[in-house]
Amino acid sequence: MPELPEVETVANGVHARVHGQTIQSIWTSNKPQTFKSTPEVISETLTGSRIERVHRVGKTIVVDLKRSGMEAQFLVHLGMTGRLLVSEPDVPIPPHTHAVLSLSGGRELRFVDARRFGRLSVLTTHEEDDQPYSGPGKEPLLISPPDFIALFRGRKTPIKAALLNQSLLHGVGNIYADEGLFRAGIRPKRQAGRLTRAELGRLREALITVLKHAIELGGSSVSDYVDADGVRGFFQLEHRVYMRTGQPCLVCSTPIKKIVVGGRSTHFCPVCQQ
Ligand SMILES: [Zn+2]
């Protein structure tokens, strides 16, 4: 499952290649799971629209569209296996392709998704009451320290589970929750509402640092991702605890432990994290 850095990497890569171009036509597979808006509505909204910007909100890729007074957003959720590829039209369409947008620059933007947990939808934003897509929770890279602390007030769940709750903070998944808690020195099972302000302040900074670092590393593999097949190279990111069960902690050499919190495997150092 791609997390915030992977989604941001893809969004930035796609933006660099397609912004300013007009969608001339669209083909859709019409598989019901994939289309949260109907293929007809998506086709009607996208055809003839100019791509103003491609960016990330939470774990969703948002394509801002404009067409003669109408503004809309095309939302792409990658799910488990979704990929957004910018391809030359003569490159064969891969299996499990669900949407092909033909662009004025001559290339195609393709959505490919083998397991079909990904979702495509549109949102019109031209009416006065319409709000642009803001995601299910707060943005981890932008949230202020007081707002971050307030998110966890009174919560009885373990902090690890609270970090994965997308309606609180969106975009953080299993990898960056574990890595953020390690860097902040906090045990994953601690009750979220009982963490001190200082601990939550450290956690916010640790999350921002690890997410930004991952975005920087991801940036180097963007062209591979967009032009070919997958987040190749991205996992060069050096995890300090995630999937390092039994290996020595990079700070104190104690073996990294694995436990289950909220149904998810969780990795931590029993000495560095208290
Ligand atoms: Zn340690």
Q: What is the mean pLDDT of residues 35-64?
A: 95
Burial of residue 210 (number of CB atoms within 10 Å: 0-12, 13-18, 19+): buried
- Looking at per-residue pLDDT, the higher value among 235 and 24 belongs to 24
Assess whether 102 and 149 both reside in one domain.
no
Range of the domain at 189: 145-268
Q: Is residue 133 part of a domain?
A: no
How far is the C-alpha of 79 from the C-alpha of 21, rounded, in Å? 26
Assess whether 62 and 8 both reside in one domain.
yes
| pLDDT tens-digit map of 236-274 | 457 899 989 999 999 999 999 999 999 999 999 999 999
Assess whether 107 and 174 both reside in one domain.
no
The mean pLDDT value of the chain amounts to 90
The SS3 call for residue 84 is strand
Q: How far is the CA of 186 from the centre of ligand 1 (A)?
A: 11
Q: Is residue 66 part of a domain?
A: yes
How far is the C-alpha of 46 from the C-alpha of 239, rounded, in Å? 39
Residues 6+ away with beta carbon under 8 Å from 212: 141
Assess whether 120 and 149 both reside in one domain.
no
Assess whether 107 and 167 both reside in one domain.
no
Q: How far is the CA of 248 from the centre of ligand 1 (A)?
A: 8
Q: Is residue 134 part of a domain?
A: no
Last residue of a domain, one of 124, 155, 175: 124
- Looking at per-residue pLDDT, the higher value among 79 and 142 belongs to 142
pLDDT at 192: 98
Assess whether 210 and 166 both reside in one domain.
yes
Assess whether 109 and 151 both reside in one domain.
no
pLDDT at 224: 40
Do 241 and 256 meet the contact criterion of CB atoms below 8 Å apart? Answer: yes
Assess whether 94 and 201 both reside in one domain.
no
Residues 6+ away with beta carbon under 8 Å from 85: 94, 109, 110, 111, 112, 226, 227, 228
Assess whether 151 and 264 both reside in one domain.
yes
Q: How far is the CA of 144 from the centre of ligand 1 (A)?
A: 29
Could you say which DSSP state residue 207 is in?
H
Domains: count for the chain? 2
Q: Is residue 274 part of a domain?
A: no
Q: Is residue 273 part of a domain?
A: no
Task: List residues with catalytic annotation.
Answer: 2-3, 59, 264
Q: Give me 80's structure tokens.
A: 């488990």
pLDDT at 265: 95
| pLDDT tens-digit map of 159-192 | 999 999 999 999 998 989 999 999 999 999 999 9
Assess whether 92 and 157 both reside in one domain.
no
Assess whether 15 and 112 both reside in one domain.
yes
What per-residue string of b and e applies to 105-121 under the rule 16 or more CB within 10 Å gives b? eebbbbbbbeebebbbb
User: What percent of the chain has pLDDT above 70?
Assistant: 92
Containing 219, the helix (H) or strand (E) segment is helix 197-219
Q: How far is the CA of 57 from the centre of ligand 1 (A)?
A: 33
Q: How far is the CA of 37 from the centre of ligand 1 (A)?
A: 47
Q: How far is the CA of 260 from the centre of ligand 1 (A)?
A: 19
